[in-house]
Structure 1
């Protein structure tokens, strides 16, 4: 057992980027792979690369409804060609197109041998057994065999988290099941004698446990299997026993509360006695008291207790770690560059993660702040589209560019 040198109240705050990098260096191997049907693979992480068994498209086909022909058979100014039949999607086009003819064709239908282009039906006029067509260049409106990828191509790498678009791609290849990493099993605990569950009556000094639901929602959005391990009472021995039991059952432990400097904050000491405390106190606002360590060999992330601080540190700091722990390759969200819709006059030693909404101001999209940015207030996060970042020691005036992290990118 050991303790990090971060226990002192005056210890220098750890920069956010440095803290995230340190957490990522300590990520354990991803859970073992298992096979999942495509219908249940959304949000899971590929454990093996996927290669195409055939080219896509598998044959030359029409990109739209119209008429297939050999472009050289049509006069330069356009003209009439006799029709030689019709081909719909799902038909086989085995017979060669007779020279000097066109064929009625529909989107996705295979081009018959001898055809090299398609004229859209809006640019054609059919009368009887012939059709008048506008001039066309060879290859127009044709999806060529293999133009998306060839047979044997790697279409998805291991470590790719499967979104709807990846699921659609796999389905287009006829793949019914894929090798994905087992879901990360996370034990979620809330610390605080004052906490009660929604629906229970509150006594004076008690509050409802918001973090159980907001943090649980974040974890599930990241594809984790979550077990609610209940509320930790503010007592060292009880905290130590509960952490020890949870560590024996889950891949990762996440707690909220109990990691600040108060006399009733016992989690850090319990972690020291059971394992190691690697990290404590970050240069982030809200969320400074975040901690990281190991409990009996199981990774532990200690989030702050204030609801907004817990939510933001879960999204900014815990999210990359949890995704990488599931085998995900790309874990850092890409911020948008957005003009600030506010002035920031006071330098701060901590990076600010401000709840903001994107609104047009004077014809320009800007990040506008909610007026209440308290670390205990979730209304601002509900109102906001994402987080506006003001880096350490920075001041700015409205109109300057800042980083903006949309919630849509963080809750994914």
Structure 2
């Protein structure tokens, strides 16, 4: 069911997690189409391979060569003409007439009843199309080899020219979040630079009169602001340009000024705190003044109050583009859960990544977990193995939204679905791993 960003259904009810994800995906797509964000030529950069890790490829990388560039051996063994297999009886005997090494091809001819000792990656002579691995021979000397004729078929163990990649075909498709293996592939093609999308600019701020910066004394009732450090760390994993806007007090004018300042220089604004229904929570009011609110509440734990929408272009901002907005809860654990479940994939999508979703795996629950249907829960847990060597997971204890230590101890989330009830020990549960993400 499609809703407009300001639909009363979205604003006044708690969305299922899947509905919230769909609403975010749709709005990000609309924003990309409206503003051509990261699709303009000005948003494309050329970087060297040693600076391309975790960047988003802007254009298909076309291979300038066939890979492999010529037929070569897939094995250490002996190369010969496979026609002799159909002509032979129960055993084949071939005379060795030379050796081919990787980078040092054999220049002579291979006649009938002859073979060539060949190493993996060495060029196949024109007279040969088959390689018998050396361990498959029944006898071998410096002069000859023997092997059963039914040991292999003609053409086996040969890598054909262009088998992996043909010239002028896409080696890496646009939209790939570049990994170490991609950089290695580009280098193997002789490519030293890649066209990538510029980094997203993301502004972060924390709101609350109770918050103090590190180094300041704590007054009664005040706490240190940890959320900006968690957000900074999670965003750094995505190779994003971060704009730290600091702490903003619970004052509508101050918060409004901070939103406008952030929107003037960022593609995305992420705030934490100020999104519940308390008397000093002004984010929703300011969002309605400065932009559009997509939704406000999600049927999940932790993280139910989470704002999402856009801020209108700020006068003087060039180019004039809307700013994507995420208003995350103030509780430290809820900040990390909502970022991991919603913000991360939205940032990747906005940055041009074609595959932003994360795979889930399953493990055996070691605990009995209490759960009422009607909301999605994300429980902090530790993944390990049971006595049978199978993946198993145990909850880290108290799951309160303010217990940040439980996130530090955990290495995964156990995800309990909207309609799911209690979990008994021994049941399979879905988990999402932290490693490389948080």
Q: Is the shorter-chain TM-score for this pair beyond 0.5, marking a shared fold?
A: yes
Gapped regions of structure 2 (runs ≥ 5): 313-321
For residue 325 of structure 1, what is the aligned residue in structure 2?
A: 350
> Is the contact made by 2:48 and 2:193 (CA closer than 8 Å) also made in structure 1?
yes
Cα separation, 2, equivalents of 1:89 and 1:278: 60
1:362 CA displacement: 5.5
The worse-fitting range, judged by mean Cα deviation, of 299-308 and 83-92 is: 83-92
> Is the contact made by 1:119 and 1:133 (CA closer than 8 Å) also made in structure 2?
no
1:78 CA displacement: 4.6
1:194-209 correspondence to structure 2 within 5 Å: 194-209=210-225
1:189 and 2:205 are equivalent in the alignment: yes
SS at match of 1:132: strand
1:250-399 correspondence to structure 2 within 5 Å: 250-296=266-312, 297-361=322-386, 363=388, 364-395=390-421, 396-399=423-426
1:65-80 correspondence to structure 2 within 5 Å: 65-73=76-84, 76-78=89-91, 80=93
- Residues 1:201 and 1:304: Cα distance change in structure 2 (over 3 Å): same
Cα separation, 1, equivalents of 2:90 and 2:220: 87
- Residues 1:76 and 1:405: Cα distance change in structure 2 (over 3 Å): farther
SS at match of 1:265: coil
Gapped regions of structure 1 (runs ≥ 5): none
Cα separation, 1, equivalents of 2:436 and 2:356: 11
- Residues 1:208 and 1:95: Cα distance change in structure 2 (over 3 Å): farther
Cα separation, 2, equivalents of 1:14 and 1:310: 18
- Residues 1:247 and 1:118: Cα distance change in structure 2 (over 3 Å): same
SS at match of 1:134: strand
Return the match for 2:71 from 43, 55, 60: 60
1:382 CA displacement: 2.5
- Residues 1:127 and 1:346: Cα distance change in structure 2 (over 3 Å): closer
Return the match for 1:112 from 107, 122, 125: 125
1:347 CA displacement: 1.0
The worse-fitting range, judged by mean Cα deviation, of 372-381 and 286-295 is: 372-381
1:210-249 per-residue CA deviation (whole Å, 9 max, x = no partner) reads 2112111211212321121111112111111111111101
1:90 CA displacement: 1.7
User: Post-superposition, which runs of at least 4 consecutive aligned residues in structure 1 deviate over 6 A?
Assistant: none
The worse-fitting range, judged by mean Cα deviation, of 245-254 and 102-111 is: 102-111
1:69 CA displacement: 2.3
TM-score by length of 2: 0.85
1:94 CA displacement: 4.8
> Is the contact made by 1:20 and 1:320 (CA closer than 8 Å) also made in structure 2?
no
- Residues 1:112 and 1:201: Cα distance change in structure 2 (over 3 Å): farther
Cα separation, 1, equivalents of 2:189 and 2:403: 47
Return the match for 1:47 from 58, 81, 94: 58
> Is the contact made by 1:78 and 1:132 (CA closer than 8 Å) also made in structure 2?
no
Cα separation, 2, equivalents of 1:5 and 1:392: 22
1:210 and 2:226 are equivalent in the alignment: yes
1:3 CA displacement: 7.1
> Is the contact made by 1:236 and 1:266 (CA closer than 8 Å) also made in structure 2?
yes
> Is the contact made by 2:362 and 2:428 (CA closer than 8 Å) also made in structure 1?
yes
1:322 CA displacement: 0.5
Cα separation, 2, equivalents of 1:262 and 1:93: 81
Cα separation, 1, equivalents of 2:144 and 2:7: 81
Q: How many residues are paired up?
A: 407
The worse-fitting range, judged by mean Cα deviation, of 114-123 and 18-27 is: 114-123
1:15 CA displacement: 1.2
> Is the contact made by 2:383 and 2:411 (CA closer than 8 Å) also made in structure 1?
yes
1:233 and 2:249 are equivalent in the alignment: yes
For residue 113 of structure 2, what is the aligned residue in structure 1?
A: 100
For residue 220 of structure 1, what is the aligned residue in structure 2?
A: 236
1:163 and 2:163 are equivalent in the alignment: no
The worse-fitting range, judged by mean Cα deviation, of 261-270 and 192-201 is: 192-201
TM-score by length of 1: 0.90
